Structure 1
């Protein structure tokens, strides 16, 4: 299924990391120097920019390492980009639940993306080490994705309960929290002692939620490439464009009513692919494998059909609303969530 002959040296890693840190630094500076509500035109410009950067990087991979690894990168990027849209659903829920002012959402998303990159880098390192040491981890990852897909499909019409997050409960229990957002600060003073602001709690919510997303997205991208460098860069460039994508489509997410179904199908497909890869390596080389090109086509077709079917559904039934999907049943009936204005 994979060819591990790609040669990525220390210099390439350093250049890539410096590029990613530079892009994050620009976001942080903009958020700190000029807090503002991001408009549609600005969101479009940044979205186009980040997609262009991701495509340019893929072309560099093609040029330096050949078409196979270039295809693996683009397949991984497409997987992560599609899964990141589900992240956006949860971000909208968190922003709405905590009533985050529009001028501070830029900062929240940028810090959230940094937390996500750090956690996913750790997961990628651990995942790559496990796959190198134990081939049965392909079976474990595959089974994990299939189980996740089944749960996501079963609870596709629900949203995750942000208030039930154990990290948020712990934060509220052990740390004093101010009533207001205190000008976008994370920590301030309340009655002479240090206290965190609701913005800090929002970051905890986003970071801990993304930890759960990483449990799905990292095995999923390892389903299209085993090369840690490609896994990391596919994740990084998909996440870098997440902030701009949030402001661009947050008001349109409710229309993607079949997104959770489509993501469940993609996760199940990649899970089966990983199981077949394990069987091919450990049981018999006569067991068929799914090529990267086929994976790219299947993922693209599922996303296209999901999007078109969602728009048709909403046009026929304007009351239909999308949900992020949940991995466990809610104790209450899910209420329709209104898109933020």
Structure 2
């Protein structure tokens, strides 16, 4: 997919989400509309870091772009189902045990701090913990078989390395859902708003991935923006224990400002980290 086509689709999904947001405003009211907008911005910004991990997985496994689209399609389908399960379970737990929100807040703060100081993961994702686990369930063929997820070798069904990559992609989404679902609880616990904002953020991921695939080196500071958002949402949840609540409009403004500043910093200082790498080598 060309960047121009990918940008058009990303804009389409954003407009669709904002149209849905307008529908919420007219039918459910201003408060729910603000909650959806805040949740959508949070989920979309957190999804950016998920996409960077996808880039690492694909590149380290040597998956050509022609095969990536199918993995992304199935990965997004799986994410929609997984997020629904996480939302239902998460909302049920929060409604029954409200104190869980404070634990979620601490987890988000720790995740944000860890993201600030952790370096970009490197290594061969063929050896991630999910692939050996998968090999115990079904044999894995030694090479790619086009876009196929399964092949028969000597009459025995084998999973292909492409399917192993799909498992790694789905596994990474589970890990990111552990952060993103609690993060949106800082805005709302309404199941409809939580799930809808998640789904609209997920639907545009495939097209956004093709943009980041070509331009990811230009957005080197976005990860720090995402880390800041995680920390902020964690603090927002944690201070509820002291009956301190940050207004929703202020939260949306802070989150949007952080992500925009991280993008602007990436554009203004494109070679900063590159030069540091040369100095250390």
Is TM-score (shorter-chain normalized) higher than 0.5? Answer: yes
TM-score by length of 1: 0.77
User: Cα deviation per residue 1:213-260 (whole Å; 9 max; x = unaligned)?
Assistant: 000000001111111111101110100000011112212112222222
Change over 3 Å in CA distance of 1:154–1:130 after alignment to 2: same
Indicate yes or no: 2:251 matched with 1:295: yes
Residue 151 of structure 1, CA deviation? 1.3
Question: Which of 107, 113, 117 is the equivalent residue of 2:80?
Answer: 117
Match of residue 159 from structure 1:
121
How far apart in 2 are the matches of 1:45 and 1:74?
21
Match of 2:25 among 52, 56, 62: 62
* Higher normalized helix content (fraction of residues): 2
Aligned pairs (5 A) from 1:124-135: 124-135=87-98
Partner of 2:266: 310
SS at 1:194 equivalent: strand
Report deviation, 1:93: 0.8
Residues 116 and 227 in structure 2, CA contact (< 8 A), matched pair in contact too: yes
Match of 2:141, SS state, is: coil
Q: Which residue of 1 aligns with 2:180?
A: 217
The match for 2:155 is 192
Contact 1:43 1:244 in 2 (8 A): yes
Q: Distance in 1 between matches of 2:273 and 2:109?
A: 31
Matched, 1:71 2:34: yes
Structure 2 CA distance for aligned equivalents of residues 216 and 231 of structure 1: 13
1:326 equivalent in structure 2: none
Equivalent in the alignment of 1:328: none
**Residues in 1 aligned to 2:276 and 2:206: alpha-carbon distance in whole angstroms:** 26
Measured after TM superposition, the shift of residue 39 of structure 1 is 2.2
Matched, 1:46 2:9: yes
- Partners of 1:90 and 1:160 within 8 A in 2: no
Question: Hey, what's the Cα distance between the residues in 2 that align with 1:184 and 1:242?
Answer: 20
**Shift of the alpha carbon at 1:269?**
0.9
Q: Spell out, residue by residue over 1:188-213, the C-alpha distance to the aligned partner (whole angstroms, 9 max, x if none).
A: 11122111111111110100111100
Residues 1:141 and 2:104 aligned together: yes
Distance 2:23 2:256 in 1: 22
Distance between the aligned counterparts of 1:222 and 1:40, measured in 2?
34
Give unmatched runs, 5+ long, in structure 1: 1-37, 281-287, 322-334, 337-341
Cα gap change, 1:164 to 1:263, in 2 (>3 Å): farther
**Between Structure 1 and Structure 2, how many residues are aligned?**
278
Partner SS for 2:151: strand
CA distance in 1, matches of 2:114, 2:273: 26
CA contact (8 A) 2:126 2:164 kept: no
- Structure 2 unaligned regions, length at least 5: none
Question: Which residue of the partner structure matches residue 51 of structure 2?
Answer: 88
Deviation, 1:174, is: 4.6
- Judging changes above 3 Å, is the alpha-carbon distance between structure 1 residues 45 and 320 closer, same or farther for their aligned structure 2 residues? farther
- What is the RMSD computed on CA atoms of the aligned residues? 2.0
